[in-house]
Amino acid sequence: MHRSRLFAQHLPEFGWIPIILTVDERYYEETLDDNLVKLLPPELRIEKVKAFKTTKPRMIGDIGLRAFFQLYRKAKKIINKEEVKFLYIPIPSFYSALLGRLLRITTNIKYGIDYIDPWVHHFPGSEVKFSRHWWSSKLSAILEPIAIKKASLITGVAEGYYEGVKNRNPSLINTAVFGSMPYGGEILDHFAIKTLKISPYLFKKETNKIKLVYAGALLPKAFLPMETLFRVIQNNLDLFKHIEIHFIGTGKTPNDINGYNVKALAEKYGIWNTIIYEYPSRIPYLDVLSHLEAADGVFILGSTEPHYTPSKVYQAVLAQKPVLALLHQSSTAVRVILDSKAGIVLPFDGKNYREKIQEEFPAKFQEYIELVKVFDPSSVIMGNFDQNSAKEVTRQLVVLLEKSLEK
């Protein structure tokens, strides 16, 4: 959602006027964040549709599926009535991608799909036949080729997000434009914290503690590196006795205040509520930014998947906090953090990450502590983040849009 919001904010600067087609917020299951509306350009055109309500018991929850027909009808009406040049669909919801193929057939509009997450990939547990994840894997393998067959543009947060699409559908290389743009960061969002007078409330600043914040969902393949990290902390308690890592919004579902993902592992290694803290439910976006600014540093935990590129890096830089990151060595964020002097990184591969973290993290952490003491935000080489600004990322999108229209 933020990716679309930032695209919409900057597209007019490059000659494109966006029309946002979305589902009316009355049909959302998640808690609403009213402050987000205040970040939108006042002239932005937003068209809303209804959706089928969730049932009890909950059979269909995905908003893209519950509103599929309503979105299709509204999109078709707008495309037929107005001079719409392109249809751009961010996924997930993955079902929304099918709208592109359907509208291409009925209106002849060119469309593109933006992979914010990979669609066809291995889910942990998908090897268990007839399980939910097994069905998800099977269904995604059937639906993706249908959705993308006539696409003119395939984009993603990083190339790895759509690399499998190319491999599975080689004919697309000749018919579609491919390109990646990272998540964009917007400095004006940080200014909004002060304008709206938003203050942190999950923890208080303490002079004898170094408090780090990890904000956002945990990917399934981040749990094994996290457990290795917790084991290292348990074995080096003296080194970490003045550190607190606060995991915010890492729960199993957005609204469940008891949907802990981190707590059980932290309890297993005896560091729960002494070094490791977790607030499972999501909190509003600007509230997250206020906690980043209140912290002493930002902790980033990557995945054993090489394509994972966290959007949190640029937010940490905008919050003017040093980064402590454990990332797959192939993540593009590794070089960005190191080259810009934004923090300390321990890179690992997908196989020997346990040995790497166990052997090298204590020394990396000591190095980080020294950095926190002397960190000067003005020393960060901001030029390395120019390509990650929301405006620059939007410019990259416009180049791809125009290229796909010419193809």
pLDDT tens, position by position, 189-237: 999 999 999 999 999 988 899 999 999 988 888 999 999 999 999 999 9
Angstrom distance (rounded) from CA 258 to CA 277: 13
The predicted model scores a pTM of: 0.84
Residue 389 has pLDDT above 70, yes or no: yes
Q: In terms of DSSP H, where are the helices of 122-257?
A: 132-148, 163-168, 172-175, 187-195, 223-235, 237-240
User: pLDDT tens across 144-196, in order?
Assistant: 999 999 999 999 988 888 988 999 999 999 999 999 998 888 989 999 999 99
Contacts of 203 (CB under 8 A, 6+ apart): 211, 244, 246, 277, 291, 294
What is residue 124's predicted lDDT score, i.e. its pLDDT?
Answer: 66
Residue 31 has pLDDT above 70, yes or no: yes
3-state secondary structure at position 323: strand
Does residue 148 contact residue 113 with C-beta atoms inside 8 Å? yes
What is residue 120's predicted lDDT score, i.e. its pLDDT?
Answer: 86
If pLDDT is split at 50, 70 and 90, which confidence band does 308 have?
Answer: low
What angle in degrees, to the nearest 10, is found between the helix axes of 353-374 and 223-235?
70
**What structural domains and CATH numbers belong to the chain?**
2-186+389-406 (3.40.50.2000), 191-385 (3.40.50.2000)
Of residues 20 and 31, more confidently modeled: 20
Angstrom distance (rounded) from CA 85 to CA 19: 11
What is residue 317's predicted lDDT score, i.e. its pLDDT?
Answer: 86
